[in-house]
Amino acid sequence: MNEQPKGTLFVLYLPECRENRLLAQQAAAWASPEKQAKRSSYTCQAEYERSLFGEMLVRIALSRMTGIAPEKLQITADAFGKPQLRSDARLCFNLSHSGDYAVCAVSHAECGVDAEMIRTVRRGFATHYFHPFEAAFLDALPPEQYDAYLCRIWTLKEAYVKYLGCGLRRDISAFSFVDEHQRFLTHSFAPALIFQQFTLPHGYILSVCGEASFQQPVFIKPGFQPETQHSI
């Protein structure tokens, strides 16, 4: 039996990048003309920097997977506007940048990824935005577990709709990661997909879904030396 292909998750901790002036200059140099042209449309400098470092991470990740120098990679868009690598359109990738992290998932099968910080969220949020099974599951949790599990469910939903390529245009309350027996991370709406979650330092949750499993995340340090992080 052939071993199932594994995808790779690349993680960049942005505060370390912002402290490295040479790295910031490198990110700006690698930015696409479209990204540079949109600079004036960003009202927040931190958001623009996050976007630059995210694009830099994509280039570093694809370079590691292909052996092509980051600055020589040609990233285009398909007929639906989804980014793809011109030299190998079969190599799929997906980017998430939020708060202190940028995360890039790379696989030879379709994938979606999301990372978010665990935040305090008011009770009742899930009732309005999540499936009834998920809302009931969250309401039954002790208060100290509520925010973490809400973040876990939210990032799973984000990763799934990014895999589909439809963003939050899809009704995220229409599918559930909790079954009728209140079991978490049990689903029947996409049986062929693999969902995984990892914790990141400083209170972040990373969720990824795809047609193949993913290895432990690889942290890209400012000197581009990899480190790994463990799953939940």
How far is 114 from 203, CA to CA, in rounded Å? 14
Total-model pTM: 0.89
CB 190 within 8 A of CB 225: no
Domains within the chain, CATH numbers bracketed = 6-228 (3.90.470.20)
- Number of Cβ within 10 Å of residue 4's Cβ equals 10
pLDDT tens-digit profile of 115-156? 999 999 988 889 989 999 999 999 999 999 999 999 999 999
Least confident of 65-69, 86-90, 165-169, 199-203: 165-169
Confidence of residue 4 (pLDDT cuts 50, 70, 90): low
How far is 204 from 213, CA to CA, in rounded Å? 20
Q: Which residue has the tokens 């790295």?
A: 23
Q: Which residue has the tokens 């976007």?
A: 51
How far is 157 from 163, CA to CA, in rounded Å? 10
CB 178 within 8 A of CB 79: no
Give the chain's length. 232
Which ranges of 101-169 does DSSP label H, i.e. alpha helix?
125-129, 132-139, 143-164
In which element (H, E) is residue 205 found? strand 204-210
pLDDT tens-digit profile of 208-226? 999 989 999 999 986 654 4
